Structure 1
Amino acid sequence: MKFSYRFSNLLGTVYRRGNLNFTYDGNSVISPVGNRVTIFDLKNNKSDTLPLATRYNIKCVGLSPDGHLAIIVDEGGSAVLVSLACRSVLHHFHFKGSVHSVSFSPDGRKFVVTKGNIAQMYHAPGKKREFNAFVLDKTYFGPYDETTCIDWTDDSRCFVIGSKDMSTWVFGAERWDNLIYYALGGHKDAIVACFFESSSLDLYSLSQDGVLCVWQCDTAPEDLKLKAPSGWKADLLQRKEEEEEEEEDRDRETTVQGKATPAEEEKKGKVKYSRLAKYFFNKEGDFNNLTAAAYHKKIHLLVTGFASGIFHLHELPEFNLIHSLSISDQRISSVAINSSGDWIAFGCSGLGQLLVWEWQSESYVLKQQGHFNSMVSLAYSPDGQYLVTGGDDGKVKVWNTFSGFCFVTFTEHSSGVTGVTFTTTGYVVVTSSMDGTVRAFDLHRYRNFRTFTSPRPTQFSCVAVDSSGEIVSAGAQDSFEIFVWSMQTGRLLDVLSGHEGPVSGLCFNPMKSILASASWDKTVRLWDMFDSWRTKETLALTSDALAVTFRPDGAELAVATLNSQITFWDPENAVQTGSIEGRHDLKTGRKELDKVTAKHLAKGKAFTTLCYSADGQSILAGGMSKFVCIYHVREQILMKKFEISCNLSLDAMEEFLNRRKMTEFGNLALIDEDAGQEDGVMIPLPGVRKGDMSSRHFKPEIRVTSLRFSPTGRCWAATTTEGLLIYSLDTQMLFDPFELDTSITPGRVREALRQQEFTRAILMAFRLNESKLMREALESVPREEIEVVSSSLPELYVDKVLEFLASSFEVSRHLEFYLIWTQKLLMLHGQKLKSRAGKLLPVIQFLQKSIQRHLDDVSKLCDWNRYNLQYALAVSKQRGMKRSLEPLASEEEAEASEDDSLYLLGAGGRD
């Protein structure tokens, strides 16, 4: 159970492509990210990625009206029915074709998918158990080109679809007598969106050239009549009517007279549409493609997004402009409005940007953006609360591991970031870049307070900071040197030369002032920082060194080399202690255009990143592969392999040649089906005519660029082509007993609690290792008896209680109660715990992270309350002073009035 890490969250990317959706309550945004789905809770400021993945990138998501079910469809046409309540997959289905959009009916009984030039209506899965969740009801034909959008009427009687052939089609969800289908024209470009008016069949249709057409229907939804059945159904109904007529002979005349009404209804004719108005968005003459739109029927709000990054808010049907704003210079791919109509979500696939805009107050509710290019490096803060990532786009982002949001982005680097690291205080981030600078960022004031440069311009490939935080070192890629600076003064202290190839990795010994540098010259050099920076040892390798790292206690060194080996060294004696052959564990996949198998490709692959676990007993390794391997260091065996992605939209995923992709013209990957288009927008090369096949088309190759274990040991993170993946220990779903025998049951635990035998109850609860039972046993102990119970706990159970307390701090509200438990355990067992400091370090860091997070929240609240109390006291004192001065002021006024009256009397007497 020690290596039962499961996928926990996806950071670094917030939106890729597809449609955005708001949840039923309107407080969360559902965003497709690659082949996964992330839910951003806007009320609680937290992001959560569902533990499921499709085989290709997600193309569209359909949400049920009650918000409990979601249909997720990928680029290959495979659909997954997901329960958002229990976060699990209920059903798999394949639509046998590329699906553009999916939409549930407002009553939740049916849903429609647009596939090719047809629309298919399915029976939606209900609350009862069914043999097949998706049952095809009808297939609707009409458009000549691909269908693009769907919308339903409020009563689920009809739906409308738009097409690229510039037509809009209205279909009846039932067999209506006066509406089978209705085609609408009037546009000169592909239809982007179409919407019904509330409680009406009136329509709005929008085309890509920025034209809005308003259509009026002469029939109300309640006037739609069901078509009379024909064939064997009609014969069956006729027999039933005859039987009823025989039973009701006395009412035959009245029923015959009543049959004259259908002829009058036929005079009304079929449903007809007429165009009321036609509006243009590009009034100034600048041509701008409309790419996304959303309409809120209750408040009549239309939101439109354009290829230039501008969005408009209009009130329909008068087409009054409410607001217009530019959010970026990239096209807006998706727009969504929440149920109350207050928040609008925008997705930009070009920048990987997700915005939630509150249009009434004109403020951002959420503004998140991932790295534009791939992420290269990451680092955990010492308490495990934050993650910092650096990307090829030159940005440095700091993420909160609890909420999953990026709260600061540094853009000072002008080229790709190659290395990031935290200092031991956790408030300074040091980064290296290809622009020839090493920068230090302050997380208190969010600024770049140090910039380290070299005498000659050089490109830095890696960076490291010693345990004191005073010495910063960076390795050069072109001059083969290592530069050492002082953090305090910013001055260059020394330049370490000796390597004959680019420096690929640097790492400081956590316990000593020893710097290890790995290079492509097949050596690892150990430098003594206190002894004039001379070379202490040189470790000779059999191949180029790609990564180097120290064990947390500094007693071992691990090096990854180009021949797929991981070698372990004793840094004190410069002796190799072991090696691991990892070529067969990489299992690199073949690319689409490769003519060799993955087995032969693996010969040239190697691990490019290494990381020790928090206890130092195992090591994580990753590289140009979809697998991350955990090895046991002492036994030198593979413990577990994690597949970071199953997304076939990435390259180098399949191991064998897929014969289905071979056509008579060659490999399907060589045939560019898009013809130079990306989501309908032409992207030709400079000087290439429209329709030419010379557009850029490529698939990113799956790879792991950096791995880091959390200092708490509870999770690890990896920067990959998919984003920043976090794997954590999911202990809630696992039963992992400890020293359990048949006499220990939950009933015995509760019986011991009733008899107030708290120590025995806690020991039995921790043997069962069920979180609810452990919480019940701990919280049953009276506050005054915590010290006695803590002193009677065996040493073996103190570790488990501390680990449970650390995890309880994140979910429980009994903050003071658990703090007392923590204090008593550390005070009473502190001396015994010191002897096992190495094993207990992850637990103590996990505890520190949980308490530090509460300290930050409570300290802000206390500062705010203290300010309010001081303000209230100052106001009350000021009012008290005014009241005390009021009698004096009244006496002075009385005396002044007496003096005035005497003066007037005196003046009158003299006259």
Structure 2
Amino acid sequence: MADDPKPEAKATSSNKYSSVKPPAYKLQYTLRGHTLAVVSVKFSHSGHYLATASADKTAKIWDIFTAKCLHTLEGHTKGLSDIAWEHRDRYLATASDDTTLRLWEAATGACLRTLEGHTHYVFCCAFNPVKPILVSGSFDETVKVWDVMNGECLKTLPAHSDPVTAVHFNRDGSLIVSASYDGLIRIWDSSDGKCLRTLMMDSHPPISHVRFSPNGRYVLTASLDHKIKLWDYDKQKELKAYTGHKNMQHCIFAAFSVSDQKGKWVVSGSEDHSICIWHLNGKQMVQRLEGRPDRNAPGDGHCDAVLAVDAHPKLSVIASGALEKDCTVKLWADKTDPSVSVRRGMFDAAISNAAADAAAAASAQLPPAAATSAPEQNGQKEHSDEPEDGAAPKEAPQQDGAAEAMDVDQEQLPDQAPE
């Protein structure tokens, strides 16, 4: 990277980012069906499907262009904390308070195997983006690496001194990052389990979420002090800090949104029921999707803390999920993106066809779902697919899956900590 700019140059850079046209996300669909907190939402790599996990013990697979629930995944005996897609979208993994992970076939919703070995809540999971390998983190303070083809635990890392809140692979699967309530972020060699780097903030807050950037050069962390930070993990330097959301109690997702069609953002949920979007390089908040105080209040937003967010791998679309007073999943699209149309709450047909083409090119296809009522704009008419049983919600659930291979602009990131 270039040498540190002079203070005058910093101001010029800030002005450059302040002139960037902000996004204008609007609600497209509200998906109903979960009966307790929605704790994780993940787009498939093709971008055609959304997987959701809930404290109600179930996971669901949705077609994002029809808002239909294709499968409900049942089998866990306690609430879920995370869900992840395999890199070819053939399988999903779920992490649960019942101390197990389950591997599911996406096309049928069938449970293929149960992974046992953790001794406490399994809180997070992520697939290797190039191999049939799964990593998981638990309240037992360990990180485990699994061969999903035979269910064998390949290695157990005594990773942290408090519950592990998030795990993630980099884009080539060579590194694992883990985060914990012990305030540490650790980078591991995925092949031999060696700890390569340890990152720690000066104030030592619990780390509630972590993920690699899409290009694998940085990590994004969320902590229980209302802060999200971008790090150069190789240099062990903090590069950016994103503030303005509320996060002191729950583990809340943060995600990169770096679609080709629109700008580069950081997205997070918030305990004030909102969704916050920041400019990746400029750090300023560019949009807040406001929440509501309760279900009866006007507006499109969530009415409880937003725990789960994910960004579509190709389009300017965000998914979100919220705690048990809300229990819904919402899909938001940026109306300033020419690839996304906001008409009657439906995606533009051309984009739907493009996503269908991408899904058809994948190695496996999900079968069509049974017909259900179509949603209308802004959640006025919502799909319902209620599970039979419920479970007590938990206070902290999340993580994120394998990264797309889009580059975060390295040259625009400073080689110093922000002021």
TM-score scaled to structure 2, two decimals? 0.72
Amino acid at match of 2:149: Q
Distance of 1:638 and 1:628 partners within structure 2:
11
Q: Do the aligned residues in 2 keep the contact of 1:607 with 1:623 (CA within 8 Å)?
A: no
- Mapped contact 1:432–1:439 kept (Cα < 8 A): yes
Mapped partners of 1:513, 1:494: distance in 2: 15
Which one-letter code corresponds to 2:157 in the other structure?
A: L
Q: 1:536 to 1:855 in 2, by over 3 A?
A: closer
- Secondary structure (helix, strand or coil) at the match of 2:357 reads helix
1:702 and 2:304 correspond: yes
2:331 equivalent among 723, 726, 729: 726
Q: Structure 1 counterpart of 2:317, which letter?
A: C
- Distance, in Å, in 2 between the alignment partners of 1:503 and 1:560 is 13
- What residue ranges of structure 2 are gaps of 5+ in the alignment? 1-20, 343-347, 367-419
1:554 corresponds in structure 2 to 216
Q: Partners in 2 of 1:855 and 1:421 — Cα distance?
A: 20
Deviations 1:99-158 (A, max 9, x none): xxxxxxxxxxxxxxxxxxxxxxxxxxxxxxxxxxxxxxxxxxxxxxxxxxxxxxxxxxxx
Matched, 1:529 2:176: no
Instruction: Report how far residue 556 of structure 1 moved.
Output: 1.4
Work out the CA distance in 1 between the residues paired with 2:91 and 2:163.
27
C-alpha distance in 2 between matches for 1:718 and 1:612? 14
Deviations 1:442-461 (A, max 9, x none): 1234311121110x632101
CA distance in 2, matches of 1:723, 1:498: 34
SS at match of 1:501: coil
Match of 1:800 in 2: none
Written as runs of structure 1 = structure 2, the 5 A alignment for 1:44-443 is 370-443=33-106
Q: Does 1:482 align with 2:143?
A: yes
Two-structure CA RMSD over aligned residues (Å): 3.0
Which of 281, 288, 292 aligns to 1:645? It is 292
Task: State the match for 2:26 in structure 1.
Answer: 6
Q: What amino acid does structure 1 have at the position aligned with 2:282?
A: E
Larger radius of gyration: 1
Deviation digits for residues 203-228 of structure 1 (CA, Å, limit 9, x no counterpart): xxxxxxxxxxxxxxxxxxxxxxxxxx
Measure, in 1, the Cα distance between the counterparts of 2:94 and 2:341: 43
* Cross-structure match for 2:273: 626
Deviation at 1:466, TM superposition (A): 1.0
User: Higher relative CO (CA 8 A, sep ≥ 6), structure 1 or 2?
Assistant: 2
> What SS is found at the alignment partner of 1:426?
coil
Question: Whole-Å Cα distance in 2 between the matches of residues 635 and 724 of structure 1?
Answer: 29
| Cα deviation, residue 623, structure 1 | 2.5
Q: Does 1:714 align with 2:377?
A: no
The CA distance in 2 between the partners of 1:607 and 1:409, in whole Å, is 24
* Alignment partners' CA distance in 1, 2:350 and 2:62: 23
User: Separation in 2 of the partners of 1:557 and 1:631?
Assistant: 16
Contact 1:607–1:621 (Cα < 8 Å) also in 2: no
Task: Give the letter aligned to residue 576 of structure 1.
Answer: E
Count how many residue pairs are aligned between Structure 1 and Structure 2.
328
Q: Does the aligned pair in 2 maintain the 1:807–1:850 contact within 8 Å? A: no
- The 3-state SS of whatever aligns with 1:810 is helix
Which letter does structure 2 place at the counterpart of 1:471?
Answer: I
Deviations 1:173-231 (A, max 9, x none): xxxxxxxxxxxxxxxxxxxxxxxxxxxxxxxxxxxxxxxxxxxxxxxxxxxxxxxxxxx
- 1:481–1:503 contact (8 Å) kept in structure 2: yes
Q: For 1:510, which of 159, 171, 175 is the aligned residue?
A: 171
Contact 1:609 1:623 in 2 (8 A): no
**Cα shift readout 1:70-118 (whole Å, capped 9, x = no counterpart):** xxxxxxxxxxxxxxxxxxxxxxxxxxxxxxxxxxxxxxxxxxxxxxxxx
> Cα offset for 1:626?
1.7
Q: Does the CA contact (< 8 Å) of 2:137 and 2:143 recur in 1? A: yes
Q: Which amino acid aligns with 2:306?
A: V
Change (3 A) 1:571 1:807: farther
Change (3 A) 1:399 1:612: same
Structure-2 residue corresponding to 1:297: none
Separation of aligned partners in 2, 1:394 and 1:469: 28
Asked if 2 retains the 8 angstrom alpha-carbon contact of 1:547 and 1:608, the reply is yes
Instruction: Please give the alpha-carbon distance, in whole angstroms, between the structure 2 residues aligned to 1:852 and 1:506.
Output: 27
Aligned letter for 1:850? A
One-letter amino acid of the counterpart of residue 808, structure 1: A
Q: Tell me, what secondary structure is at the counterpart of 1:645?
A: coil
The answer to whether the 8 A contact 2:122-2:137 is kept is yes
SS at match of 2:98: coil
1:497 counterpart (158, 166, 171): 158
Assess, with a 3 A threshold, how the Cα gap between structure 1 residues 701 and 644 changes in structure 2: closer, same or farther.
closer
Contact 1:809 1:851 (8 Å CA) reproduced: no
Letter in 1 for 2:194: R
- Name the SS of the counterpart of 1:555 in structure 2: coil
CA spacing shift, 1:476–1:606, aligned 2, 3 Å: closer
Cα-to-partner distance string for 1:25-80 (whole Å, 9 max, x where unaligned): xxxxxxxxxxxxxxxxxxxxxxxxxxxxxxxxxxxxxxxxxxxxxxxxxxxxxxxx
CA distance in 1, matches of 2:316, 2:271: 25
Q: How far, CA to CA, are the matches of 1:573 and 1:506 in structure 2?
A: 20
Shift of 1:807: 5.7
- Say which SS state the counterpart of residue 850 (structure 1) adopts: helix
8 Å contact from structure 2 (residues 293, 303) kept in 1: no
Contact 2:267-2:277 within 8 A present in 1 as well: yes
Q: Does the residue aligned with 1:608 lie in a helix, a strand or coil?
A: coil
TM-score (norm 1): 0.34
Aligned to 2:380: none
Give distance in 1, aligned partners of 2:57 and 2:125: 15
Q: Which amino acid counterpart does residue 710 of structure 1 have in structure 2?
A: H
Q: Are the aligned partners of 2:142 and 2:160 in contact in 1 as well (CA < 8 Å)?
A: yes
1:373 CA displacement: 1.5
**Equivalent residue for 2:350?**
808
Residue identity in the other structure for 1:491: E
1:723-752 per-position Cα deviation (integer Å, ceiling 9, x unaligned): 001101335xx9x8xxxxxxxxxxxxxxxx
- The answer to whether the aligner puts 1:574 opposite 2:236 as a matched pair is yes
Point out the structure with the larger helix share.
1
Identity %: 22
Task: Please say if residues 564 and 606 of structure 1, whose CA atoms lie closer than 8 Å, have aligned partners that are also in contact.
Answer: no
Which amino acid is the alignment partner of residue 182 of structure 2? D
Mark the CA change 1:436 to 1:640 in structure 2 (over 3 Å): closer, same or farther.
Answer: same
Secondary structure of the equivalent of 2:35?
Answer: coil
* Alpha-carbon distance in 2 for matches of 1:853, 1:459: 33
Give the residue type in structure 2 aligned to 1:419: D
In the TM superposition, residue 705 of structure 1 has moved relative to its aligned partner by 1.3
Partner Cα separation in structure 1 for residue 351 and residue 305 of structure 2: 36
Given the alignment of the two structures, is residue 540 of structure 1 paired with residue 184 of structure 2, yes or no?
no
Q: Which residue identity does 1:555 align to in structure 2? A: R
Q: Distance in 2 between matches of 1:546 and 1:850?
A: 35
* SS state at 2:252 partner: strand
CA distance in 2, matches of 1:808, 1:648: 34
- Alignment-mate amino acid for residue 545 of structure 1: I
1:384 CA displacement? 1.0
Amino acid at match of 1:457: T
Q: Distance in 2 between matches of 1:770 and 1:500?
A: 48
